[in-house]
Amino acid sequence: MRNSVTQDVAAEGDEGVSQRKKPTNPPADVQLSILVGIGRELIMLLKCILVLVFLLLVAVVFVVVRIA
C-alpha cells in the first residue's frame, strides 16, 4: 500500500513538472499578424528599392541623351 502511494505522488509530481516545461505558443491570430506585419515591411522595402532603381535608370538615360 505504501509503495503505491509513493508512486502516485511521484507521478503527480512529474505531471506538474512536465506542465511547467511546456512552452506556451501565442494564438494563431497573433502569429499571423506578426507575419503580415513583416510582409508589409518587406513589400515597402522592395517598393523603395524599385523606386531607387527606376530613378537611377532615368538618370543614366538622361546622361546618355545629354552626351549624344
pLDDT tens-digit series, residues 13-39: 555 555 566 667 767 777 777 777 888
Distance CA 30, CA 27 (A): 5
Q: What is the pLDDT of residue 25?
A: 73
pTM over 0.75: no
Minimal CA–CA distance to 26: which of 18, 34, 37?
34
Read off the C-alpha cell for 38: 513583416
